Amino acid sequence: MNMNAQAYNQYKKTSVETVAPEKLLIMLFDGAIKDINNAKKAIEAKDINLAHQEIIKAEDILIELMSTLNMDYEISLNLFALYEYLLYQLTQANYKKDIALLNEVEEFLTEIRQTWAEVAKAVKTTPTLVGKANEAAPGTINVKG
């Protein structure tokens, strides 16, 4: 590997390791969606090997999403079941080279990605309770001085 490739790989690794968790989550969804689109193009071009490789990359991302869920929350159980279904659909799409199945998975991932993007935006713009702890509520007296 030449020096430029090593530097680029180090840059990519550092940029992923230093990104905020919510941004990383959105990047994972973007990657899976991109891989699915690449797989669809490969199927249309009759490039079965490339389609297989792209679907496997999307499957790997889903497995990563599944493995990072905090199962202490009910929503995580629901997300796990959904990701498991999507993983199954990707497996079937890979086996059958079925664009319709890829479209279904892409639609779900796009919707979930959008939801997480809205959550990240809302969290980012919502004042924190820590910042509000020292402020008096309207109509009250601030006893902190």
Residue 112, pLDDT > 90, answer yes
Q: Give residues with Cβ within 8 angstroms of 136, minimum separation 6.
A: 142
Mean residue pLDDT of the chain comes to 85
What are the chain's domains? Answer: 22-115 (1.20.120.340)
CB 90 within 8 A of CB 60: no
CB 61 within 8 A of CB 109: no
Residue 141, pLDDT > 50, answer no
What percent of the chain has pLDDT above 70?
74
DSSP result, 1-19: --HHHHHHHHHHHHHHHTS
Region 57-84: mean pLDDT is 97
